Structure 1
Amino acid sequence: MPESKTDKLTDTADLQLIREAAAEAGKIALRYYGKDPEVWLKNGQSPVSEADLAVDRFLQEFLLQARPDYGWISEETATDEQRTGRKRAFVVDPIDGTRAFLAGDNQWCVSIAVIEDAKPRCGVLDVPVRKEVLTAVRGQGAFQNGKAISAQLPDDGSSYPVAMSRSHFNELPEGFRSKVAFASYVPSLAYRIAKVGRSELAGTFVRGGAHDWDLAAADLLLSEAGGKLLTLEGQALSYGIVNGPAMSQKPFSHDVLVAAVAGFDNEMLSVVRQLLSGHSNA
């Protein structure tokens, strides 16, 4: 079904809203940045700080006050069953890259997307310390600080910079390894995918167990920049669906993924799939 004028107007209005929300959320996070905030461990291994919780509280109040009929999916908020099954939903990671945030690294961001029918309609990554704001609306391109970005492979014969673990790089087939340059780790998954969208990386591997809030906004940014975020079977991702049409924030996992820019040829993608098929981490 073709998109209606109403859909496009709604997308534009939603982008304006989430940009405003992300900008304020970034300011809240900066109040804690470099100041040793209190930290807890989720499930004994994943850190969450008082900054994450403060940002999440603000976003939930601000966004749902503006759009009370939207659903809500967030890394830091308990499931609200009354909000499942809504036509549109916010998908939020208050601070994507919490470990980087706590370590004083500047590669963390506020990530917000709006999804409908399991697909992102608009998204924003606000990277406060670096003063970068990346935005996308479905069908309207991807931008950084108002300037269009594009996912392209090097055309000068140089190797492709790909973000991966060192163990993955060492196990690449020799013929493939010569085409790939090892790129250092980027703590924030969303920001790492955005780097693919602006051609700083040719691609990246995504760890099995990634959630909607890790991926929704970055997925749209990458696709609108001309790239792709695909499963090993070459399929696009769906968001907000668990065993049926109802939206949920239960901690379900996507399969191991490959983020590949346009032009990442089928032969190379096939090799990457073979390589990842026996691994759970990237």
Structure 2
Amino acid sequence: MPESDKKPLAPAAPRFDWQADLALIADAAREAGKVAMAHFGQSPEVWWKNEGRSPVSAADYAANRILEEILRHARPNYGWLSEETDDDPARLSCDTLFVIDPIDGTRAFLAGKDTWCVSVAVVHKGKPVAGILVAPSLHEEFTATIDGPARRNGQDIAVSTAGIEDSLKLASAQDMVAIFSPILRPRIERVDHIPSLAYRLALVADGRIDATLVKKSAHDWDLAAADLILARAGGSVTDLDGQSLVYNREDVTHPVLCAASADILPALLKNISRIPRS
């Protein structure tokens, strides 16, 4: 065939090394965890945001700063969304970005409780592709990439094998349990409140609880890393219509959600008898 008749080759699809990104965010999250631990139990200064509904402490800001220093220097082309950084609409034009909660569970942190964590995710085209939760006070780390297993402290984890006919450990407020049908409710064993949403989802991924309900208005930074970890462990978190979550939209809040193993989630959703107001 003459050279002039040859069709040009299509450009190769970009290759992404999400394992390298996981290594990067893991190092950064561990450093942020060390910074937070230096404030833990030390009564850090506290301010109130969202019209006085949400506390933020000097520890949150300090952990956020170290994450920014490490991650933005390493990946200057990635966008940025963090609970403790003023939102920059430029993130909407980024295919890939970091989604950060420097301390998920600030109320627990300030109360001296161990159930808080540093949550860091890489989100690509609306989906998390690498994520880590570091819970330094509990000596736990949960990790996953889109093409690898979910792990806790380096060991593979999986969701509970409980079926819809079994007794189900559900982490939720009492008023949220009432959304389930009277048929299912007697089989629900409600677990005490777990302040960190990210850590709560990790417990579903780890099989320590079977499911959780999430009140409306959770944010991308509460969910992205834990969403991926749960998915790679065999579970899912969706809205009440069974729709998966999309990240890095203009509105970063989400409706009421349900999380469980992929095997029982559809049945749980079918057993919702009323839509909660909160």
TM over 0.5: yes
Give the structure 2 partner of residue 175 of structure 1: 183
Give 5+ residue unaligned stretches, structure 1: 243-250
2:61 is equivalent to residue 61 of structure 1: no
Distance 2:145 2:175 in 1: 36
Mean alpha-carbon deviation: is it higher for 166-175 or for 21-30? 166-175
Identity of aligned residues (%): 44
Tell me by how many angstroms 1:82 deviates. 4.2
Q: Which amino acid in the other structure matches residue 6 of structure 1?
A: R
| 8 Å contact from structure 1 (residues 72, 91) kept in 2 | yes
Give the structure 2 partner of residue 278 of structure 1: 276
Distance 1:29 1:69 in 2: 27
Give the structure 1 partner of residue 211 of structure 2: 203
Could you give the per-residue CA deviations for residues 63-94 of structure 1, whole angstroms, max 9, x where no partner exists? 00000000000000012344441221000000
Distance 1:22 1:157 in 2: 39
TM-score calculated relative to the size of structure 2: 0.90
Distance 1:234 1:155 in 2: 18
The alignment partner of 1:167 has SS state of helix
Tell me by how many angstroms 1:178 deviates. 2.1
Distance 2:80 2:106 in 1: 20
TM-score calculated relative to the size of structure 1: 0.89
Give the structure 1 partner of residue 15 of structure 2: 6
Give the structure 2 partner of residue 95 of structure 1: 103
Distance 2:245 2:164 in 1: 32
1:181-196 mapped onto 2 (5 Å cutoff) = 181-196=189-204
Give 5+ residue unaligned stretches, structure 2: 1-12
Tell me by how many angstroms 1:261 deviates. 1.2
Q: Which amino acid in the other structure matches residue 73 of structure 2?
A: Q
Tell me by how many angstroms 1:255 deviates. 1.2
2:237 is equivalent to residue 238 of structure 1: no
Distance 2:81 2:178 in 1: 37
The alignment partner of 1:6 has SS state of coil
Could you give the per-residue CA deviations for residues 125-146 of structure 1, whole angstroms, max 9, x where no partner exists? 0000111010000021100011
Q: Which amino acid in the other structure matches residue 87 of structure 1?
A: D
2:213 is equivalent to residue 215 of structure 1: no
Structure 1 outlier segments of 4+, above 6 Å: none
Give the structure 2 partner of residue 136 of structure 1: 144
